Structure 1
Amino acid sequence: MPEGRIATLGRMLSDTASRPLVIGHRGAPGYRPEHTRSAYELAFALGADAVEPDLVATRDGVLVLRHENEISGTTDVARRPEFVGRRTTREVDGRALTGWFTEDFTWAELSTLRARERLGRVRQASASFDDRYPVIRLRDLFELIDAAADERGRVLRMVAEFKHAAYFDELGLPLDELFVAELDAAGWGRGDDRLIMEAFEPTLLERLGARGIRGKRVFLIEATGAPWDLVLADGHGARSYDSFVTEQGLLGLTGRFDGVSVGKPRLVGGTQTRRGADAPGAPLTGAELVDAAHAAGLEIFTWTLRPENRFLAGGYRRGTVRAAFGDWLGEFTHIVDMGVDGIFVDHPDLGVVARDWSLGRAG
């Protein structure tokens, strides 16, 4: 990296970003198909502090940006006659799935596909851009972030989510090893303060740390079940996700990882109201979960804040049209007021508004 660029980056990193971080979830899929160059560029234009790519691998070891390795719902692959023979059934994390999988394609082949919005029935505006943009690689996003940071004169971050690490290990495509190669190719060295890494599998996060990759490591907490890597190791005795969000569970993560990221229902609605939530040793919810994470020295993030009635907790819905916006500002600011460190949003501008609104009231 040129010396001038290093000095500029150093000045930008010395700036403290507003909290919580507003993270463009797969870019800005409320407006453009997720994981496209247009979605990521728009996320930064709308004020996002970071963007979150989902990482999966191709047959030839290229990390590409897709919600899942099964891509029939996020690309036009099902309409491409040359790939009709690639449709197959695979078992991924214990579940049989039928479709087209990134690991059955080379990057050269995937690069010919065009992206589609996964929630197109709800996001018709975003879906109107279907089939216009190609699939992109992780290395393309590194370049995009560098360019956007230079243009805006502030630090911009990546929150990289690793999908199905144990599954890809079995295929001989270790995501941590491939990620190191991508960092080197992009000129990011072994990572820095711009990088946050997250996964539902703690083993993968530990391997990233052992490889000397710098950047925060965040453990993703699913709503139910157990991490698949632990299931493979311990079978029915595997620790559940719930066990990690008790006071003792959070304390046990101290020193292992830098933070946790929980689904929004653990903070508002959903699991927050289930029976037995106040029992000793029960999973924490709401502000108690946020406070306990901080007391354990962990940052806490939440996903995914979306404005449509379909995705809002019951008390924030308005009217009966599921695709219409409800009281998103009420729900978003309620979550920000809990003191979370980062929010994943599909509409980055709305996340910025909610943060500014919350901070303005607090001031």
Structure 2
Amino acid sequence: MADLTPVNADGDMLVIAHRGASGERPEHTLASYERAIDEGADYIEPDLVVTKDLVLVARHENEIGETTNVADHPEFADRRRTKNIEGQMVNGWFAEDFTLAELQTLRAKERMPALRPANARFDGLYAIPTFADIIALKRAKEAETGRKIGLYPELKHPTWLLQESGIDTVDLLVRQLKQEGLDGADSDVFVQVFDIAPLQRLDKMIDAPLILLIRPEGGPYDEPGMTWAGLMTPTGLGEVATYADGIGPWMGHVLRDDGTPTDLVRDAHAAGLKVHPWTVRKENVFLPASLRSDTSENGIGDIRGLVKLLKAAGVDGYFTDDPGMVRGD
């Protein structure tokens, strides 16, 4: 199993910057990642999709219309299409249909402008970063700050991409990690996926710790006979521990509506797994009712109160859009 010594020196819960400081800047931009680093995040988390010419880039989804200004580019109007992605019909523009050079003509925009209007001020400023760009930023900031900065990449839809486009993002990621010397157990990298088979492959290819992500309902796309509920039983977690080092569950799997902990952290730890739930956000709409400041969706609630509940539950780290508001708890 991989060495899971945390990056942060005090040994407290890891603060994983979810898509960077995405509560303050448009997600998956170098500006968002750098702000998260400056605010003390232990890890920055890029979601990785792939271009037509096989370059890993950071976007929330392979559909890029929601997070870029591609709709404003008439030269790409004919690229719009509908795809069945893991059983869901999605209409838009898709990263795998663009070369890197084409994507570099686009600019990022805020994904939730109604909820985060301040972020929309930055629309049109930032390019789509490659994974190589993010690694370069990590190293530059390490040199500047003198501290380790971890990477926590997620492969988006690796099974679906392999089936539909013949693109093997597992292989692309492994190659890049090895080229950069970031595939070892001590490389301050976690790799996360919602699919089972890619993690099992990764377990044989790299020594960096692996995380199985867990959605609120359903089961892994590549294992239709499995359910998340079954995987979160003691027996299921024991099986997960044969190919992964931890789990990234939805917050509701760790905390009940009243804030009391479920048995998941205890059972995962018993199986030797770390637990990194998602996502700690400041806006009322994302918080339990008891931690909201008022009835508005975008009002700022008691985000530190949520962190305290997670600490009481015994989690090893957590994803957050707002590292500047939680660092130090």
Q: Give the structure-2-normalised TM-score.
A: 0.93
Which position in structure 1 is the counterpart of 2:48? 55
State the AA in 1 paired with 2:218: G
Spell out structure 1 runs of 4+ moving beyond 4 A: 12-17
Q: Contact conserved, 1:33 with 1:117, CA < 8 A, in 2?
A: yes
Which position in structure 2 is the counterpart of 1:279? none
CA distance in 2, matches of 1:246, 1:344: 23
The answer as to 2:168 corresponding to 1:174 is yes
1:183: how far off? Answer: 2.1
Counterpart of 1:320 (choices 292, 295, 298) is 295
Which position in structure 2 is the counterpart of 1:359? none
The answer as to 2:228 corresponding to 1:241 is yes
Which position in structure 2 is the counterpart of 1:293? 268
Q: Which structure: greater helix fraction?
A: 1
SS at match of 1:109: helix
Q: Could you list the per-position Cα deviations for residues 65-119 of structure 1 after superposition, in whole angstroms to 9, with x for gaps in the alignment?
A: 0000001110001111111110001111111111000011001100111001112
Seen in structure 2, the aligned counterparts of structure 1 residues 33 and 14 have a Cα distance that, compared at 3 Å, is closer
State the AA in 2 paired with 1:242: A
1:156: how far off? Answer: 1.1
Which position in structure 2 is the counterpart of 1:162? 155
CA distance in 2, matches of 1:17, 1:155: 13
| Bigger Rg over Cα | 1
Q: Contact conserved, 1:269 with 1:314, CA < 8 A, in 2?
A: no
Counterpart of 1:303 (choices 259, 265, 278) is 278
State the AA in 2 paired with 1:222: R
Seen in structure 2, the aligned counterparts of structure 1 residues 136 and 305 have a Cα distance that, compared at 3 Å, is same
Counterpart of 2:191 (choices 191, 197, 205) is 197
Counterpart of 1:267 (choices 254, 267, 271) is 254
Unpaired runs of 5+ residues, structure 2, are: none
CA distance in 1, matches of 2:304, 2:314: 16
CA distance in 2, matches of 1:203, 1:17: 35
Q: Give the structure-1-normalised TM-score.
A: 0.85
The answer as to 2:103 corresponding to 1:145 is no
CA distance in 2, matches of 1:14, 1:259: 16
Show the 5 A alignment for 1:15-164: 16=9, 18-164=11-157
SS at match of 1:303: coil
Task: Name the Cα RMSD after superposition.
Answer: 1.9
Q: Contact conserved, 1:20 with 1:342, CA < 8 A, in 2?
A: yes
- Between 65-74 and 192-201, report the one with greater CA deviation: 192-201
The answer as to 2:203 corresponding to 1:209 is yes
Which position in structure 2 is the counterpart of 1:253? 240
State the AA in 1 paired with 2:174: V
SS at match of 2:118: helix
Q: How many residues align?
A: 324
1:148: how far off? Answer: 1.2
